[in-house]
Amino acid sequence: MRTTRSTQRRNPLRALLAGLASLMGLTLLGVLAPAAAQAQSASDALATGLHISDGRLLEGNGNDFVMRGVNHAHTWYPGETQSLADIKALGANTVRVVLSDGHRWAENSPADVANVVAQCKANRLICVLEVHDTTGYGEEAAAGTLDHAADYWIGLKDVLAGEENYVVINIGNEPWGNTNPEGWTAPTIAAVQKLRAAGFEHTIMVDAPNWGQDWQGVMRANAQSVYDADTTGNLIFSIHMYSVFDTAAEITDYLNAFVDAGLPILIGEFGGPADQWGDPDEDAMMATAEQLDLGYLAWSWSGNTDPILDLSIGFDPTQLSAWGRRIFNGANGIAQTAEEATIFGGGNPGDTQAPTTPGTPTASAVTATSATLSWTAATDNVGVTGYDIVRVSGSTETKLAASTTTSVTLTGLTADTAYTFAVYARDAAGNRSARSAGVNVTTEEGGSTPGGNCSVAYRATNEWQGGFQGEIVIRNTGTTAISGWTLAFTFANGQTITNMWGGTPTQSGGSVSVTPASYTSAIPAAGSVTVGFIGSKGTTNTAPTTFTLNGATCASS
């Protein structure tokens, strides 16, 4: 990860009975097997809150729960608790919250953690709590140990006891670097067993070594022994997917290895934008997670020192980056796939009144692949928290996006296609309004050359006197891959690019031409690459308005 700021469930009785049966013969096995199954069933029935059974994460009532959410850097931005409500309003069912045990950063106090949990519950989010100080241990000199993290969790026991329905404990973030990653296994087992000995019944999450990406396969090879060391069977593995996972084959192979072994796993962090290390295949990650019913938690809401990974710009839910729009509103994204945990009851018994129906949406800025919708706000006796935007086709509808405001820009549409869009309003209790009337929209015809099947998102991510940092996200909106490209645009105010990653610039006056780096040269269908740069500027820094890819004009996004 890029830091901000800088199995089947094993039942001990079943295992014992199986061992006795192998010694005493098949006849005895036939007698004992029903008793073992009965014990397994009883164990599940008595589960405390979120728990693992048969390789799946279940709620206390046995409902299968698939995490769909994001990471939030609480420990560095403790005043941004509104972010939890904003993340929920965009459709997430889970948030992974960054905490510190005091080894490397300021310790999050029991009162602070209790408030985070309360805020998660108030916003109907499952809360994954993680200690970040362990990041890169064995390679990062400032990193803390899993044992120290375990002691921190034990110090929070009074806060966390009774929250098993709502809280997952992620012992330590990426708790081993790339140096001797085989050292990860024993401390991981020891930390898990230390928490169990202290009486914790929560689902425990463990991160992989190799800075979370397990590219040397240590967690994959030792997962069964780690899982077996937790006698409760209430353990889930977390793989972090960044540039190591840049092909669909690598992603499906890794995740299927755990699923085939009956071992629970989720993608606890992942990125999509290309950087100097490579271009993660976020589309394959999200599609595979959806196919296998596995959770995913994108990195991260806002506040990264490298803002390329900010889902929202400046913690503003109305200013999603291209990465944020991909995660929340794209294919297999949060808006389409997240389902709220049933522990929240599908509605607050104290609030059963649904919002009024939103106004009929109007369409503007319609291109071949995108359209902006706006509508009149709904009202509610408590308060409207968000809107769901759907495509209506006959008697069926498909959720396309979620918004916390009364407008949204839909991307990834098909050129020269008729659509009908409508809107629902919802409140914090989960009550949803009647569907608005629909608006009919026909997208424009697509470009005649492969380069025309594109959209470009440009933004200045940071500015200072005389200089700025920028980001350009190039998305292939066509059905075939683009291999090799040249992006052209013009600065209006004398800006000059002084350094670039993800591409090579050539500039003459205000005219800029960019060719790709090796890791950004191919843009798969429906995929994207990101180019970042540092530039110089005067007092005015107007963004370019027109971009061409291989000579054809791209849509703006």
CA-CA distances (angstroms) from residue 108 to 71, 100, 200? Answer: 17, 6, 19
Largest CA distance in the chain: 87
Counting DSSP H helices and E strands in the chain, the numbers are: 12, 31
Say if strands 362-364 and 371-374 run parallel, antiparallel, or are unpaired: antiparallel
CA angle 434, 440, 443 (to 5 degrees): 135
Write down the catalytic residue from 163, 174, 201, 471. Answer: 174
Whole-angstrom distance, CA of residue 227 vs CA of residue 219: 11
Q: Is 80 a catalytic residue?
A: no
Listed residue (555, 534, 554, 546) closest to 460, CA to CA: 534
512 and 488 Cβ atoms separated by less than 8 Å: yes
459 CB-contact burial (10 Å; exposed 0-12 / middle 13-18 / buried 19+): middle
Tell me the β-bridge partners of 500: 533
Q: Amino acid letter at 304? A: N
426 and 457 Cβ atoms separated by less than 8 Å: no
C-alpha R_g of the chain: 25
Listed residue (293, 224, 214) closest to 262, CA to CA: 224
Write down the catalytic residue from 107, 164, 269, 471. Answer: 269
Tell me the β-bridge partners of 316: 313
406 and 393 Cβ atoms separated by less than 8 Å: no
Whole-angstrom distance, CA of residue 503 vs CA of residue 506: 10
112 and 134 Cβ atoms separated by less than 8 Å: no
Instruction: Report the b/e string of 167-186 with b at 16+ CB within 10 A.
Output: bbbbbbbbbbbeeebeebbe
CA angle 80, 283, 518 (to 5 degrees): 100
List the end-to-end C-alpha distance of the chain, in Å, as a whole number: 26
Residues identified as active-site: 174, 269
